[in-house]
A and B are shown apart, each in its own frame.
Chain A
């Protein structure tokens, strides 16, 4: 018997407060939570700034201490000029100046300067011979091809040599000073001024207040930082509150308490929100404190630099308050999504895997907000995360518009409500407990999926780093090597593991199965509509995030694409990626993923991995969408072959810029509808139950 009788039923708010309180106590006592939510956000800037400054200092010192040997052949140059250059070069210590005889080189270089490109190779060869073992760099004087009186220095060096690059920098510096000296003499002759160097220099007066300048800088920098810190700060709390509860086997006890699941969800969400906001405040405080203490300087997304106490000047109390208020909807959305994802994880580790792509997804809109030319208009204000980030950017600048802010607040409230509405489902006991124990089977499937995810991340990184390097080095052969060597090698490694663990054949682990005819015909019929959709998406994206012209010029394929005939374009840019990318992503990786994930999760992961593998923020949305569709087709047909056909057809339409009547909206939609009907009607090639996957003996 209880003394004083049974207590009355407590209200939902009181129960949620009790949950919130206990979650915060547990988090405060958790070393890992304190590290991720407080220590790391506080220490990251001092550490980065200190390490950056230290590395710059060390590298500057190392370069300055390096002795370089510069060979000079200045015959034909005015004696005074040659002496001045020699004198200025001698000041670039430690330097060893040697005289050289480069008569042959000067003759060949003269021919190049006069417009004989066939002499270029000879010039390079002779310069290499002259430099070999004798000097890091060779300076010669040339006759100017047009202005006979104008001196012209030509510098030869081996760009792959560290010493040669340092020598070039010093020679450049000396020649710049020489030029400055000469122009100063000329200005003095013209104006007779005391300080001839400043004779024609404009006097620039910056009228922007420090608040405005600092706000402009922070506005570009902070949205991304804010969202990433919110995610990283809240992630541990969310995982601890939900996945940790399942892993620690305390959830069942909670669910038999006379408390609605919503009270638990709300209390836990509150704790996650408080921790995420605390991490954000700690981080911003640390950044501003580090800058104010002069620990270093920060570079914004557009290369602008903030140093000293300048950005801090932007943070008047009013602006801080406004910025915090504007970030609240963003924090609620971020934390709700973290909570929803964490609640679906069975273990802490699984939750971490789930949160990784979400972090990347959140970074995308937040990063976009850093672009100064992206206008905070009512349409963009409604995009989740992007809207609050743009509002934050403009609020820090001090010129935030009222109407978009209103739209942002209303739409963010709507997004947050949509996410919070599902909070009640986070602790759905039916989902969590309604399955019998097949521990070994489940564990095996979990291992397969986790390995596949690891391979997906490795594949995305390798395509970006190794593939990108090979393409920049060797152009077309590098591109083909990426597709036909790198991707198949990774597919083989990933599938070999899956096959070994499940006792299947390698072909099965690569999803290389004979598909049904209906799927084989149906899949490529989706290509025209998909291509049209991508072009529309690209046009929309151009409005939100215009593709800079240099991005187009820099992209490796663009350089050699124009020279290829149509059949080669098809082979290189449609057939090759269609086959190899599908075998890796929809074959080897998907085969592992689907063993322990629902179709929806597999499709989402495929979208994220495929988008990241293409390593361009401008191509992320189209490639992610393509990845999702191809993943769906492969899941449906239980074979990678229809996805290969669709991928090849889609790439071919875009690469060859096919312009036919049946590509216009209605025929494309009709073809797509027919394709979908075929995909829906044809039964999968063979009923397959991953649960039947046998354990290895």
Chain B
């Protein structure tokens, strides 16, 4: 184990963890580049009603971590449980408990917002009257009525974002995994996304999201994990991380942690 143990004993709650990862590692066998170690033993715990931000530069291993937790990729070693379900043993059941959204998510340009939601609702097992009721409900909640029957290809960025969010939560998942959800969004859409994340916390869901935007992490997160070169360097509340590093601003905290990791590597 190379990563620093979480500092958050004080925050441990009575409820079972929504996300529980132990020693996650991912090694890619790339025929052209040889072996690539994307994750090197990562531990993570997230709780219901909590927003956890995974902070790190590009290529740090954030997306790999989220993809493993969302069952898209299998870890080379280690285990992960989502809402108590082992993601490797029963990935289909785990997916029923996860809402997943990334900044690069696209929509089918030739389907309408309603058809998109109906399609994914069918894949989740909704049928007939229940399906129509759920889709109508989502259209109502996300205020999509004016554009619900127009093709997604003709929607604005903000409208598309609403469709994507509605699709991610149509099965009311207890765990939300969001990969850089605000990247590429304008100020309005970005603040709407932040509102949405806060509303899920209020509803008691666990939100795990990755970002490299420090201000966003500062504002939103109950706890922050700093990830660099496939390792979790530290994990805790803003105050705990500030105390650990003796720095005030998140940017300084982040730099201190990365520098500390490089020094330890040098000593080893």
- The smallest beta-carbon distance between A483 and chain B, in angstroms, is 34
Distance between Cα atoms of A281 and B71 in the complex (Å):
42
CA–CA, A10 to B95, complex, Å? 14
With A2-B134, A253-B100 in contact, do A436 and B59 touch (Cβ < 8 Å)? yes
| B156: interface (CB < 8 Å) | no
Smallest CB separation, A44 vs chain B (Å):
26
- Shortest CB–CB separation between residue A70 and chain B, in angstroms? 66
Q: Which of B26, B95, B102, B106 contacts A257 (CB 8 A)?
A: B95
Q: Given known contacts A257-B95, A257-B124, A437-B59, is B71 in contact with A26 (CB within 8 Å)? A: no
Is there an interface contact between B172 and A249, defined as CB atoms closer than 8 Å? no
Closest to A254 in B: B123
Which of B32-40, B45-53, B216-224 makes up part of the contact surface? B32-40
* Interface residue tally for chain A (C-beta within 8 Å): 40
State whether the Cβ of A61 lies closer than 8 Å to any Cβ in chain B: no
A50 to chain B, nearest CB (A): 33
Q: How far is the CA of A529 from the CA of B151 in the complex (A)?
A: 61
User: In angstroms, how far is the closest chain B Cβ from the Cβ of A249?
Assistant: 4
Q: Which of A8, A256, A437 sits near B72, CB closer than 8 Å?
A: A256
**CB-nearest residue of chain B to A26:** B110
CB contacts (< 8 Å) of A26 on chain B: these are: 108, 110-111
Q: Does B93 contact A (CB under 8 A)?
A: yes
Residues of B near A253 (CB, < 8 A) are: 100, 105-106, 167
A223 to chain B, nearest CB (A): 34
Write out the residue numbers on chain A whose beta carbons fall within 8 Å of the beta carbon of B124.
7, 10, 257-258
CA distance A3 to B133 in the complex (A): 8
Number of interface residues of B (CB under 8 A): 49
Mask for B18-39, Cβ within 8 A of A = 1, else 0? 0000000010101111101010
Q: For the complex, give the distance between the alpha carbons of A633 and B34 in Å.
A: 22
Partner of A435 from B28, B96, B109, B123 at Cβ < 8 Å: B28
Contacts of A2 in B (CB 8 A): 134, 171-172
Of the residues B106, B130, B134, contact of A250 by C-beta under 8 Å: B106
Q: Mark B114-133, 1 if CB is under 8 A from A, else 0.
A: 01000110111111001001
- Interfacial chain A residues near B115, Cβ < 8 Å: 22, 25
A258 and B106 contacting across the interface, CB-CB below 8 Å: no
The chain A residue sitting closest to B101, CB to CB, is A253
Contact bitstring A26-42, B, C-beta under 8 A = 1, else 0: 10011000000000000
Stretch at the interface among A299-307, A341-349, A426-434: A426-434
A603 to chain B, nearest CB (A): 15
Write the nearest CB–CB distance from B96 to chain A, whole angstroms.
5
B74: chain A residues at CB < 8 Å are 430
* Contact present for A25 and B111 (CB under 8 Å): yes
Residues 426-467 of A contacting B (Cβ, < 8 Å): 429-430, 433-437
Q: Which residues of A contact B134 (CB under 8 A)?
A: 2-3
**B125 in contact with A9 (CB, 8 Å):** yes
A-contacting residues, B212-256, CB 8 Å: none
A258 touches B172 (CB 8 A): no
Chain A residues with Cβ below 8 Å from B106 are 248-250, 253
- Point out the residue from A7, A252, A691 that lies within 8 Å of B104, measured CB to CB: A252
B199 within 8 A of A: no
Q: List residues of A (179-216) whose CB comes within 8 Å of B's CBs.
A: none
A430 to B58, Cβ gap below 8 A?
no
Give chain A residues whose Cβ lies under 8 Å from the Cβ of B192.
none
Q: How far is the CA of A260 from the CA of B123 in the complex (A)?
A: 10
Q: Which residues of A contact B93 (CB under 8 A)?
A: 258
B125 pairs with A29, CB closer than 8 A: no
Please state if A4 and B133 are interface contacts (CB–CB under 8 Å).
yes
Name which residue of chain A comes closest to B71, CB basis. A256
Residues in B neighbouring A248, C-beta threshold 8 A: 106, 108-109
Chain A residues lying within 8 Å of B125, measured Cβ to Cβ, are 6-10
Considering the chains assembled together, what is the distance between the CA atoms of A10 and B131 in angstroms?
13
Q: Closest residue of chain B to A429, judged by CB?
A: B72
A25 to B115, CA, bound (A): 10
Is B102 within 8 A of A252, CB to CB? yes
Q: Which chain A residue shows the least CB distance to B31? A: A598
User: Which of B33, B98, B105, B172 contacts A689, CB < 8 Å?
Assistant: B33
Chain A's nearest CB lies how many Å from the CB of B87?
Answer: 11
Asked if B126 and A250 sit within 8 Å, CB to CB, the answer is no
Q: For A257, list chain B residues within 8 Å (CB).
A: 95, 120, 123-124
Q: Assuming the A-B contacts A29-B110, A252-B104, A436-B36, are A7 and B92 also in contact, with contact meaning beta carbons closer than 8 angstroms in the complex?
A: no
A429–B71 Cα gap in the complex (Å)? 9
Residues of B contacting A690 in the complex (Cβ-Cβ under 8 angstroms): 32
Q: Tell me the minimal C-beta distance from B111 to chain A in angstroms.
A: 6
Q: Which residues of B contact A14 (CB under 8 A)?
A: 122
A97 to B102, CA, bound (A): 85
> What is the CB-to-nearest-CB distance from B31 to chain A, in angstroms, rounded to a whole number?
7
Instruction: Check B96 against A22 for contact (C-beta < 8 Å).
Output: no
> A255 with B72: in contact, given A26-B108, A435-B30, A689-B33 (CB under 8 Å)?
yes
List residues of chain A with CB within 8 A of the CB of B109: 248
Contacts of B148 in A (CB 8 A): none
Task: State the CA gap A3–B138 with chains docked (Å).
Answer: 12
CA A468 to CA B111, docked complex, whole Å: 51
Smallest beta-carbon distance B155→chain A, Å = 14
CB distance from B165 to the nearest CB of A (A): 12
A1 close to chain B: CB less than 8 A? yes
In the complex, what residues of B have CB within 8 A of residue A680's CB? Answer: none
Contact string against A for B residues 48-79, beta-carbon threshold 8 Å, 1 for contact and 0 otherwise: 00000000001100000001001111100000
- Given A258-B95, A429-B72, A435-B30, answer yes or no on A10-B122 (Cβ-Cβ < 8 Å): yes
With A22-B119, A434-B73 in contact, do A691 and B137 touch (Cβ < 8 Å)? no
A9-23 CB mask vs B (1 if < 8 Å, else 0) is: 110001100110010
Distance (whole angstroms) from the CB of B95 to the closest CB of chain A = 4
| Closest-CB distance, B122 to chain A (whole angstroms) | 4
Closest to A247 in B: B106
Q: Is A561 part of the binding interface, using a Cβ–Cβ cutoff of 8 Å?
A: no
* Closest chain B residue, CB of each to CB of A11: B125
* Residues of chain A lying within 8 A (CB to CB) of residue B33: 689, 691
Question: Among B26, B105, B110, which residue has its beta carbon within 8 angstroms of that of A249?
Answer: B105
B107 within 8 A of A: yes
Cα distance, A435 to B38, chains bound together (Å): 9
Which residues of A lie under 8 Å from residue B31 when comparing CB positions? 598
Would B130 and A1 count as touching, CB distance under 8 A? no
Any B CB within 8 A of the CB of A259: yes
Which residues of A are found within 8 Å of B110, using beta-carbon distances?
25-26, 29-30
Find the A residue at minimum CB distance from B168. Answer: A253
Contacts of B111 in A (CB 8 A): 22, 25-26
Contact A249/B104 with A18-B123, A434-B28, A689-B33 known, Cβ cut-off 8 Å: yes
Q: Are B38 and A436 in contact, with the CB atoms below 8 A?
A: yes
- Complex Cα spacing A437 to B134, Å: 38
Which chain B residues lie closer than 8 Å to A4 at the CB level?
130, 133
Whole-angstrom distance between the Cβ of B188 and the nearest chain A Cβ? 22
Query: Distance in Å from the Cβ of A352 to the closest Cβ of chain B?
Result: 20
Report the separation of the CA atoms of residues A8 and B127 in the bound assembly, to the nearest whole angstrom. 10
Point out the residue from A6, A30, A259, A691 that lies within 8 Å of B171, measured CB to CB.
A6
Q: Give residues of chain A (659-697) contacting chain B, Cβ–Cβ below 8 Å.
A: 689-691
9 further A-B pairs in the complex, CB-CB below 8 A; given A7-B124, A430-B73: A1-B172, A3-B134, A4-B133, A6-B96, A26-B108, A250-B107, A256-B95, A437-B58, A690-B32
Q: What are 5 A-B contacts with C-beta separation under 8 Å?
A: A15-B122, A18-B123, A433-B67, A433-B72, A434-B26
9 residue pairs, one from A and one from B, having the closest CB atoms: A249-B106, A7-B125, A18-B122, A10-B125, A256-B100, A258-B95, A29-B110, A691-B32, A258-B96
Question: A residues bordering B, Cβ < 8 Å?
Answer: 1-4, 6-10, 14-15, 18-19, 22, 25-26, 29-30, 248-250, 252-253, 255-260, 429-430, 433-437, 598, 689-691
